[in-house]
Every structure is written in C-alpha cells, then in structure tokens.
Amino acid sequence: MIKTKHLNRSMTSQHLGSEKKMKIHKRLITAMAAAVLTAALAVPAFAAGPTFRDVPASHWAYTAIEKAAGNGMVAGVGDGKYDPNGAITGGQLLAMLTRHFCPEDIETDPIVLSQAGHSGRWYSGNLYAALKHGYLDGIDPTEIDLDAPCTREQMVTILYNVAGRPATNASALAQFNDRGQVAAYAVNGFSWAVSNKVVSGTSNTTLSPRGTATRAQVAVILIRYLENVEGVQFPDVNGGATQPVEPTPTPTKPDASSSQNSDGTTNAAYVNSLCDVGKSNDYPTTGDASSPNANGFYTKANVDISGAKLQYDVIPYVNAFLAKHPDRIEANKDFQPWNTTMHWVTTDEQEEYTLLRAKEAYSYFEHKRPDGTGILSGENLYRGGSVAEYVIKAWEGSSGHASTMLNAGYVNKTTCVASCGDVWVMTIWGDVNYTAVIKYAPNNYISTWGK
C-alpha cells in the first residue's frame, strides 16, 4: 500500500477543474489539428487494420482501444498485443491519466518526491501529479493499493475526480441490483458515470463495483468520457462497432439459493465466487444475518475483503507449537481447560473480520483499525512472509507473540488466520470478543471504544 499525502494546493478544486479542462481542450485541439493535417496528406488517421493482434475488429472494445491507442492514451504490452482482459493497477491508471491530462505536473525531481513522501515507485511522479489535481479525493488510502489490480469502483471514482466531481443523483443506479455493494465513496462516481453514459454496467442489472477493472474497460470508459462529457470528436475508426457493448460475463458464482449448505453453514464455493478468500467447507461457519452479504458471508457488514485469504495451512504448525507446552494442560485443568489442538472459528463474522484485519494491516500495520478504533479480538501481526510454517515460527520466536498464540490452546477459545500480500494476522476469540464482533458487524466491525 502506498500511503499518500495531500499536497498543499494554491488553487481551489474548481480552479483546478477549469484549468484542467482548458489543458485538455488545448491538447485535443492540437491532436485534432494533427489528424486533419494527416488526412490532408491522404494518410488515414488510424491504421487500416487492427493496431493490436489480440484486439481484432470483432472485439467489443476494438473502436475505443483504437481511438485511445491512436491518440497515445494507451499502449500495448509487447509482442503486438494489448491484453484487453488484463488487469490494470491503480498506479498504471494514474500514470495513464496524468500523462494525458496533466503531463506538465508529473514530478521527476527525486528530492521533491522524497520531501512529499512519494518516492520509491516507478509511478511516484504520476502519483504526485494525481494528488495535486485531486484524482484520489474521496478514496481513503486504506481503500486502494496502487500496486494491486484496480477495482471498477476505484477506476470510476478516479475518473469522476478527473471530471471535477460534478453534482449527480444516486437514483441513476436504481436499475442495478448490486448497487448496495458500491462503496460509499464510489456512489457519486458511479451515479455520474451511469448518467453520462460513461459506464453501462457489466450487464443491464449489474455494476460489479468490486470486480477488477480490465485494460479494455479502461480504454472504453476513457473514450466514452471524452466523447460524452468533454464533447471530443475522434476520427472514424475502420471497422468495429461505433458503440461498444461489453458482453455479459458468463456467470461464475452459484445462485444465492446455494449460499448455504444443507446443514445451514455458509457455502464456501459461494463465498469464494464472490471474493475468492479460499474458504473451505472443512471448517464450517454460520452467521447472524438472514441473507448473505456482498462477500457471501451471512453477516450484517458491508466490507471490502478482496485480496485477503484464509490460511488453514497454519493449523498443523500451531498445533506443533502448542504440543511443546504440555505443562499448560495440567496447569489449566481447573481453569479454562487447555490442550494442544487449535480450534478454528465457527462464525462468519469472525472469518470476515479476520480477512478485513489482514487487508487493513497490509496498509496500516497497527493493532488498531485505520480509523483509530480498537480491535475486537486478541491479535498477532506479521509482515514479510508467504509460507505458513515460517510465519508461525516467527511468532514462536517472539515472546509476546508466542504468549498470544498460546491462547489458541484454550478449549473455550477459537482462532482464525488470514493474510493479505505479505501481511498475516492471527485473531484469538473468547466469549466477550465473539459477542462484540456480532454486535458491531452492522457497523462494519467498527466499535465504539478505542477512539
């Protein structure tokens, strides 16, 4: 996660928006003049055939990709390919937008970047320009990882900021059944994008806000923005559809009626189809809600846990650690019985919360929530690992972490482990913690203590 600092601005957002539009129009006028001159020389504005061999004229995004490539907005990935279905990271998106809309503000001085706290990444200069123009306004730094694939709601919000955050009406989303899954920060962006025909959804009734933005989608949405909002007229493209229609994706998730197993536990396949957290039916859980949320868990929370994974692989290593302390069995026989077997959590809330903590800790490595509130469970954190055995050994080698991990042996406590990138979190649950996580699920697990 790249933590960002908002730069001091010498102009208001409105002034920046006006200046941006003037610069856009100047560049586009120059581009259009060049296109007219090219036409006068009897050279077509676009190549006679497809620019990229993996984007033929029959591809749904062909026209937009040709326009974007012809005007230097997008480039291929090598070997004559564009990789239309490939993911785009937040950093790549910012680089593309700043190179086109505000190239004069892309900082290259390493001293300036260092002082501003934006050095160390290939897109640092682009990030500097993007922050200066407010492209990330409204998005909490914990909500976006610029090195990870960009979600559709992040992409739309960034472009909404490029447009100057105009007034909009959320009623534009009424037709979409998954509008409730749109993060609060992205509602205005999606409303604006739908109203201005910048985004049409992945189907007539779905926005797929947490789906990964593809390179084809980025090209299409950018061209739609320039044509429908800025009024830009691009030269005609040979072949291809004039109004690209993204194909309805083949359903990959089970119907919601299959979201529970026959015994009432949460269906792992359904959860994984929505958020791919590696959930297993071998460790069944149930939730307090009457229907599944956007992650497929039966909780009353609406949190983004994309990128986090449950780590059942730790179980044998935790058990091996507990087996090294047989003295605790005798010492605790009359008070909270203790054994050498770890007990995996049994509720959806505990798993979802642990996944959320892993994602939060990836960008905010503290034993508290990014908003400053307290955590709801006992907790171990680790950064820098990808193998369960090494992570458990690292905790075992630290007296404080080992002490916390010993709690996994209590018969009346349960444990969950998840990771996000190279950050791992172990949560330990007792009766008080269990009650709290269910109580605060409707508040996205944000407690009233700790601030």
Q: Is the pLDDT of residue 250 over 80?
A: no
Listed range (99-103, 139-143, 399-403) with the worst mean pLDDT = 139-143
Confidence of residue 7 (pLDDT cuts 50, 70, 90): very low
Out of 222-226, 252-256, 263-267, 418-422, give the one with best mean pLDDT.
263-267
How large is the average pLDDT for residues 84-100?
A: 88
> Where is pLDDT greater, at 87 or 249?
87
Q: Which residue has the tokens 């992945």?
A: 202
Q: Is the pLDDT of residue 380 over 60?
A: yes
For the record, the structure tokens of 405 come out as: 């991990």
For the record, the structure tokens of 286 come out as: 């149930």
Confidence of residue 333 (pLDDT cuts 50, 70, 90): confident
CA distance 38 to 51: 18
**Amino acid symbol at 314:** V
pLDDT recorded at residue 147? 85
Q: Write phi, then psi, for 429 (nearest 5 degrees).
A: -120, 130
Domain-by-domain residue ranges, the chain? 13-229, 266-443
CA 81 from centre of chain:
26
pLDDT recorded at residue 239? 62
H or E stretch including 426? strand 423-429
> Where is pLDDT greater, at 315 or 150?
315
User: In which region does residue 240 sit, left (phi positive, over 0), alpha (psi from -120 to 50) or beta (all else)?
Assistant: left
Q: Is the pLDDT of residue 451 over 50?
A: no
- The Cβ of residue 214 has, within 10 Å, a number of other Cβ atoms equal to 21
CA distance 220 to 202: 13
Report yes or no: 152 and 207 within 8 Å, Cβ to Cβ: yes
Nearest C-alpha neighbor of 83 from the set 128, 113, 53, 104: 53
Q: Is the pLDDT of residue 307 over 90?
A: no
> Where is pLDDT greater, at 395 or 148?
395
pLDDT recorded at residue 441? 96
How large is the average pLDDT for residues 284-288?
A: 96
Chain-wide mean pLDDT for the chain?
A: 82
Q: Is the pLDDT of residue 413 over 90?
A: yes
Q: Is the pLDDT of residue 246 over 70?
A: no
pLDDT recorded at residue 232? 85
CA distance 126 to 95: 5
* Residue 406: partners with Cβ closer than 8 Å, 6 or more residues away: 322, 325, 328
pLDDT recorded at residue 449? 57
Q: What is the pLDDT of residues 48-90, one digit of tens each?
A: 568 898 999 888 889 999 998 888 888 888 888 998 888 888 8
For the record, the structure tokens of 257 come out as: 């009626």
> Where is pLDDT greater, at 82 or 44?
82
Nearest C-alpha neighbor of 415 from the set 315, 345, 353, 340: 345
pLDDT recorded at residue 134? 93
Alpha helices in 6-123 (DSSP H): 13-40, 62-70, 90-101, 110-115
**Amino acid symbol at 97:** L
pLDDT recorded at residue 238? 67
pLDDT recorded at residue 18? 44
User: What are residue 428's DSSP bridge partners?
Assistant: 378, 415
pLDDT recorded at residue 12? 29
Confidence of residue 1 (pLDDT cuts 50, 70, 90): very low
Global pTM?
Answer: 0.50
Pick the CATH number of 266-443 from 3.30.70.360, 3.40.33.10, 3.30.390.30, 3.40.190.10: 3.40.33.10
Listed range (182-196, 403-417, 424-438) with the worst mean pLDDT = 182-196
Q: What is the pLDDT of residues 352-377, one digit of tens each?
A: 999 999 999 988 899 999 888 899 99
Q: How far apart are the first and last CA of the chain?
A: 24
Q: What is the pLDDT of residues 26-36, one digit of tens each?
A: 444 334 333 33
How large is the average pLDDT for residues 187-195?
A: 92
For the record, the structure tokens of 98 come out as: 């700043």
Report yes or no: 129 and 97 within 8 Å, Cβ to Cβ: no
Positive or negative, the Cα torsion across 360, 215, 163, 188? negative
Listed range (2-6, 279-283, 334-338, 419-423) with the worst mean pLDDT = 2-6
pLDDT recorded at residue 240? 56
> Where is pLDDT greater, at 120 or 435?
435
pLDDT recorded at residue 422? 85
347-379 burial by CB neighbour count: b if 16+ within 10 A, else e?
bbbbbbbbbbbbbbbbbbeeeebeeebebbbbb
Q: Is the pLDDT of residue 437 over 50?
A: yes
Q: Is the pLDDT of residue 416 over 90?
A: yes
Report yes or no: 219 and 190 within 8 Å, Cβ to Cβ: no
